[in-house]
């Protein structure tokens, strides 16, 4: 089978690095360019030493190189992990070049820029106008397991915290198991804050500590509600409290809601297992879920507890893989008609 050239936007960011790792292992993708606006010409292995064996001589390309490639390549996979607010205009620039040349790239954006269908909603949440509002209609936004048929050319991946929440919220809403009022407490690893250290993410501050941020006001809440409504057609309320955890990779999210009728944990587990039947990356477990069982993999684990009238669904996933790069590659697999699990079935690292 002919390999599809992949173009990674986002340069030296953690998600871009994870995309490069997954592409190196993928049976149907080959790296055409890793684009860095700040480090063109520098070796990929210098920015990501762990990737040096896979890319010993590969250097970062510039944006003009990416523009040339999408115009020259009849088909290409563009995996965009640029900063929020910058990704939209950059993708628009590449798609304009492709349209002029008559080529057909497929884009998966891992930034937040194409998660809202409404540019006004994006502006309200992010505080600035959308960079390419005319392109929004070309993108769908959903977790791969929640959208059976893709009706747009391109996709926006919901992101790490959002994926962890949506894996619980969407089936609960779709199956009508709960009242549509959710309370979520989620803990994320430090890689979710990006590569550039800040006061909140600097290791001496974060090590052996746990603290909340953006409580009941985080931007992911309106994103999740918009995505969940697009998938299920149902309105809901989401009360979200994110936390910074003292580990590098992974997310643990606990979603609580009130059951519409008394149900035991086994009944809810069975309903979730049926909902995710045929989706190998989402596993419903009878025992409490643990981060170490999913870190560095594309798997997500869910477990359930009930007390008869309320339930809690615990979900764990790797923020860089299932919550970002792995989910994006899953979408690329779908777009090109490959097995959805291609290049993504490696188990978790375990003792990280």
What does the pLDDT look like over 281-316, one tens digit per residue? 999 999 999 999 999 999 999 999 999 899 999 999
Average pLDDT, stretch 61-65? 96
pLDDT digits (tens, 9 = 90+) for 77-110: 999 999 889 999 999 999 999 999 999 999 999 9
Catalytic residue of the set 51, 141, 160, 236: 160
Please state the domain count of the chain: 2
Which phi and psi (to 5°) does residue 197 adopt?
-70, 145
Domain span including residue 240: 161-319
> Order of strands, edge to edge, in the sheet holding 237-244?
211-212, 237-244, 181-188, 251-263, 308-317, 300-306, 282-284
Q: Mean pLDDT for the chain?
A: 95
Counting residues of the chain whose pLDDT is more than 90, the rounded percentage is 91
Assess if residue 156 is contained within a domain. Answer: no
More confident residue, 147 or 205: 147
Assess if residue 133 is contained within a domain. Answer: yes
Question: Which token pair is 207?
Answer: 């090590």
> Model-level pTM greater than 0.85?
yes
Residue 194 has a pLDDT of: 73
CATH classification of the domain holding 264: 3.30.360.10
Assess if residue 247 is contained within a domain. Answer: yes
Question: Which token pair is 184?
Answer: 């979520």
Residues 21 and 87 placed together within one structural domain of the fold: yes
Residues 199 and 112 placed together within one structural domain of the fold: no
Domain boundary among 94, 113, 141: 141
The answer to whether 63 and 97 are in contact (CB under 8 A) is no
Residues 285 and 203 placed together within one structural domain of the fold: yes
pLDDT at 38 over 90: no
Count of CB atoms within 10 A of residue 198's CB? 9
Residues 183 and 300 placed together within one structural domain of the fold: yes
Residues 199 and 136 placed together within one structural domain of the fold: no
What are the residues facing 282 on neighbouring strands?
300
Report residue 59's pLDDT band, with 50, 70 and 90 as the boundaries. very high
pLDDT digits (tens, 9 = 90+) for 213-255: 999 999 999 999 999 999 999 999 999 999 999 999 999 999 9
pLDDT digits (tens, 9 = 90+) for 184-222: 999 999 888 777 777 767 778 888 999 999 999 999 999
CATH classification of the domain holding 125: 3.40.50.720
Cα–Cα distance between 228 and 38 in angstroms, integer? 36
Cα–Cα distance between 131 and 148 in angstroms, integer? 29
Residue 1 has a pLDDT of: 63
Assess if residue 176 is contained within a domain. Answer: yes
Residues 245 and 116 placed together within one structural domain of the fold: no
Residues 9 and 126 placed together within one structural domain of the fold: yes
Residues 137 and 179 placed together within one structural domain of the fold: no
Assess if residue 137 is contained within a domain. Answer: yes
Residue 198 has a pLDDT of: 77
Residues 182 and 115 placed together within one structural domain of the fold: no
Residue 295 has a pLDDT of: 97
Assess if residue 329 is contained within a domain. Answer: no
Assess if residue 106 is contained within a domain. Answer: yes
Residues 110 and 236 placed together within one structural domain of the fold: no
Average pLDDT, stretch 29-49? 95
Residues 130 and 167 placed together within one structural domain of the fold: no
Which phi and psi (to 5°) does residue 120 adopt?
-70, -40
Active site residue 160: yes
- At how many degrees (to 10) do helices 14-25 and 326-335 cross? 50
């Amino acid at each position: 089978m002919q390999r599809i050239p992949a173009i990674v936007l986002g340069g030296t960011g953690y998600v871009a690095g994870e995309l490069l790792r997954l592409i190196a292992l993928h049976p149907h993708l080959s790296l055409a360019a890793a684009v860095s606006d700040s480090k063109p010409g520098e070796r990929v292995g210098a920015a990501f030493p762990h990737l040096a064996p896979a890319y010993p001589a590969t250097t970062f390309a510039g944006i003009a190189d990416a523009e040339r490639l999408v115009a020259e390549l009849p088909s290409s996979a563009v995996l965009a992990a640029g900063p929020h607010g910058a990704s939209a205009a950059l993708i628009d620039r590449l798609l304009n070049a492709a349209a002029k040349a008559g080529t057909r790239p497929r884009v998966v954006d891992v930034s937040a820029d194409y998660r809202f269908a409404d540019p006004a909603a994006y502006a309200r949440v992010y505080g600035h106008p959308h960079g390419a509002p005319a392109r929004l209609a070309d993108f769908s936004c959903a977790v791969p397991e929640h959208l059976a048929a893709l009706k747009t050319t391109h996709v926006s991946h919901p992101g790490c915290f959002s994926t962890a929440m949506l894996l619980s919220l969407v089936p609960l809403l779709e199956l009508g198991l709960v009242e549509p009022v959710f309370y979520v407490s989620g803990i994320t690893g430090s890689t979710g804050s990006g590569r550039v250290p800040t006061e909140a993410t600097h290791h001496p501050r974060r090590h052996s500590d746990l603290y909340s941020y953006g409580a009941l006001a985080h931007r992911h809440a309106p994103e999740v509600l918009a995505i969940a409504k697009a998938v299920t057609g149902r309105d809901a309320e989401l009360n979200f409290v994110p936390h910074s955890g003292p580990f590098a990779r992974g997310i643990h999210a606990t979603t609580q809601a009130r059951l519409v009728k008394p149900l035991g944990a086994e009944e809810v587990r069975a309903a979730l297992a049926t909902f995710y039947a045929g989706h190998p990356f989402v596993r419903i477990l009878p025992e409490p879920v643990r981060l170490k069982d999913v870190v560095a993999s594309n798997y997500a684990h869910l477990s359930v507890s009930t007390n008869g009238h309320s339930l809690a669904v615990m979900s764990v996933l790797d923020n860089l893989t299932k919550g970002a790069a792995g989910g994006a590659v899953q979408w690329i697999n779908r777009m090109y008609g490959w097995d959805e699990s291609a290049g993504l079935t490696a188990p978790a690292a375990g003792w990280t």
